[in-house]
Each structure stands twice: as structure tokens, then as C-alpha cells.
Structure 1
Amino acid sequence: MLLDTPICDFGWKAPDFTLRDPDGHAFTMSQNLGENGLLVAFLCNHCPYVQAIADRLAEDTSTLLDEGIGVLGVMSNDYHAVPTDGPAYMRSFTARSGWRFPYLIDEDQSVGKSWGAVCTPDFFGLNAKGELQYRGRLDNTRLDTTSNRTRELVEAMRQISQSGHGPEKQMPSMGCSIKWRKM
């Protein structure tokens, strides 16, 4: 199901978390939140929207990392229901996409739920205080074209890094709904 992200709730305080990557290494949000802010991206392997932006996301997050802005990817889908989102596939998808950021498993889906993530991709740009300042899309391109690309996420994160505040105008990200575990 195609969904759009909600409007940015400026100043919302992001709850801390510790998650592991497919190799078992633990990463804590607060330890990756530096003076230049942090991007937390909810992603998955099987979503055609994530697949379509994977290379551009690699390029843009490399730019952010090189500028001292932290990046964490979180996979909250129920990979028991969608096996191609599982840890082994996360490892190969990361390598194939060229992602340099940790791609973490939200096994019990508690992080996705506490953050209010709705789709993949869903981007949360935080300032140095861990306050939400961006909840928008990667760029202005469509799935079928990348001409005249405006790097909206990069520019927003740069603004957050410099001023602590995100842009007032933000376009929602769109993607596949997160696959929540049936209770």
C-alpha cells in the first residue's frame, strides 16, 4: 500500500534506541547523534521505492557522513512475513547499494512504532538535541527520472546542522507501508 509521511512535527523528541545490524553489532541512536545532527531512515529491501532511490540514497548519505552528519538505517518490517527483508538480504542489499551507514534490524518493531514510521522510505532528520526537524522526501525526482534533481534531504540536513532548524516547507516522502506483525 502506497503511503505518504505525515507533516513534520517540529521539535518532537526522538526516543533513544539500541539496535543491531545483521552482523550483531549494536548501534545506539544517542551515540550517533553528534553536533551536526542525525538522519534516521526507515528502509527495507523489497520496496520498489527504496530500490529506486538506493543509489541516490548512497550518494546523499555519503555526502552527509563526509560532512559529519550521522546516518542510521532501520528496517522495521516483519521479515518473517516478508523474508526478502531479513538480515541476510539486508547485508547483500547494503553491499549492492553502496550504503556506508549502519542498516539495523528492528526485530520487535518497537522503534518503528515509537517513532511513528509509516512507510519505506521514511526519513527523520534530527538536530543535535535529538529534536525532529525534517520529515520529508529524498529529492524531487520521480521513480522514472532523475533529471533536474534537487537534493532536498541533503539540503535540509545541512540547514539543520548549521542552524538546528529544518526548512519550513517540506514535501512528504512516499513509499510502501511498513509491514507490521499481526498480533
Structure 2
Amino acid sequence: MSLTPSTMLELGTKAPNFKLLDTVSNTALSLNDLRGSKGTIIMFICNHCPYVKHVNGEIVRLANDYRVLGFGFVAISSNDVKAYPDDSPEHMFKIARKLNYPFPYLYDETQGVARAYNAACTPDFYVFDETLELVYRGQLDDSRPKNGIPTSGRYIREALDALLNNRTVLKDQKPSMGCNIKWRTY
């Protein structure tokens, strides 16, 4: 496990389009299928990373709290499943069911979507407004495994509340930290 920060994609970037397999419904879903009327949250996660395991409960709470307010949520796993079989679509399905993910859990087999978003770690979070412009990227909150700080989703909640109340999302944003995305080697 290599602790890796997110790359902090430039604010204002338009969300790159995608169409990926949802491992729960076994259907291909696009960004337009998943976007919310108020905004869209894209999370790069995986099954095996201890940083993702640490925040899983909070991302479920976050999605349950804000989906009803018009936000779309989607999780994407881009890891090389040959090197990390725990992150395979079959295991993604099991984790999504076990944890009651209230959002699609998409498989980025080619890793092209992770590259388009310049994703670097799991978890890596992106918040787009209603026009699909990036307004927040970075950490969920200050909690990390074993640091004693409870998960709260503070920074993403603040960004979503700002969007709901037509306020500017604060530009001072901290990178997410977690396991590096497991890139396929050729």
C-alpha cells in the first residue's frame, strides 16, 4: 500500500463523459444517466483499500442524505483486477450489496475513465455542479484509519450545501489520500 494524494484536477473542468458497466445492475451507464439535477459526485474507490474501507459507511450516509436533494452519486473502480482480484466486478457486486451502496458501482476495465479524471488514489472524490463543472475535488474529511478522527464527510457536505444554497464552494481544498490506483502494466 502506497499512500498517494489526489492530483487536484483543475476547478472548472467539465466532467469527462463515460459509459461503464454497473456491477450491480449489469448494465452500462453513462454520466448523463447518473448526473443529478443539483450536482454529481464521482468517487474512485475499490474493495481492498483500507482507506476506502474506513470511509465506506460515511459515503453511504452521504449519498443517502444528498441523493434525495437532487445529487447524483457514482462510484468507479479502476484497479487492475489481474494484480488485485479482490477488486474484480464479481467482488464489486458483493461489496455493493453487503454495504447497501445507494449508488452504482462501475467498473473501469480500460482505466480510461480514471485517466480522464486524472484520478490517483482511492478514495478520490469529485463534485460537479448542475452544469457538470468541477467545484470540489479532494478529501472527504480529515479522518484516516487509526487517526482517531470520526468520519463526517465534512468537506464534501460543505461543498454540496454551498451548491444547494447558491453559494460559492470554497477554493481552499485538501487532496484526498489513500492507496494509489493500481495501474495495469503492459
Aligned residues of 2:20 and 2:107 also touching (Cα < 8 A): yes
Task: Determine whether 1:124 maps to 2:126.
Answer: yes
Q: Which 10-residue stretch deviates more, 126-135 or 88-97? A: 88-97
**Structure 1 position 150, deviation (Å):** 6.0
Alignment of 1:78-157 (within 5 A): 78-144=80-146, 145-147=148-150, 149=152, 151-157=154-160
Deviation digits for residues 70-116 of structure 1 (CA, Å, limit 9, x no counterpart): 00100000112100000111111112222110000001111011110
One of 158, 163, 166 as aligned partner of 1:163: 166
Aligned residues of 1:21 and 1:105 also touching (Cα < 8 A): yes
Aligned residues of 1:41 and 1:124 also touching (Cα < 8 A): yes
- Scaled by the length of structure 1, what TM-score is found? 0.92
Could you say what secondary structure the match of 2:127 adopts?
strand
Aligned residues of 2:19 and 2:28 also touching (Cα < 8 A): yes
Task: Determine whether 1:38 maps to 2:40.
Answer: yes
**Structure 1 position 3, deviation (Å):** 0.7
Aligned residues of 1:55 and 1:98 also touching (Cα < 8 A): no
Task: Determine whether 1:173 maps to 2:176.
Answer: yes
* 5+ long unaligned stretches in structure 1: none
The answer for the alignment partner of 2:69 in structure 1 is 67
1: CA distance, partners of 2:60 / 2:153: 15
Residues 7 and 115 (structure 1 numbering): CA distance in 2 closer, same or farther, change over 3 Å?
Answer: closer
Deviation digits for residues 43-95 of structure 1 (CA, Å, limit 9, x no counterpart): 10000100111111111111121221000100000112100000111111112
Q: Which 10-residue stretch deviates more, 69-78 or 56-65? A: 56-65
1: CA distance, partners of 2:82 / 2:145: 28
Counterpart of 1:98 in structure 2: which amino acid? N
Counterpart of 2:177 in structure 1: which amino acid? M
Counterpart of 1:66 in structure 2: which amino acid? V
Counterpart of 1:63 in structure 2: which amino acid? D
Aligned residues of 2:46 and 2:87 also touching (Cα < 8 A): yes
Aligned residues of 2:9 and 2:118 also touching (Cα < 8 A): no
Could you say what secondary structure the match of 1:143 adopts?
coil
Could you say what secondary structure the match of 1:163 adopts?
coil
Q: Which 10-residue stretch deviates more, 142-151 or 50-59? A: 142-151
Could you say what secondary structure the match of 2:29 adopts?
strand
**Structure 1 position 8, deviation (Å):** 4.8
Deviation digits for residues 149-181 of structure 1 (CA, Å, limit 9, x no counterpart): 462212212213443742212121100000111
- Scaled by the length of structure 2, what TM-score is found? 0.91
**Structure 1 position 146, deviation (Å):** 4.0
* 5+ long unaligned stretches in structure 2: none
Runs of 4+ in 1 over 3 A off after TM superposition: 146-150
Task: Determine whether 1:2 maps to 2:31.
Answer: no
The answer for the alignment partner of 1:56 in structure 2 is 58
Aligned residues of 1:16 and 1:28 also touching (Cα < 8 A): yes
CA RMSD of aligned residues (A): 1.7
Percent of aligned pairs with the same amino acid: 35
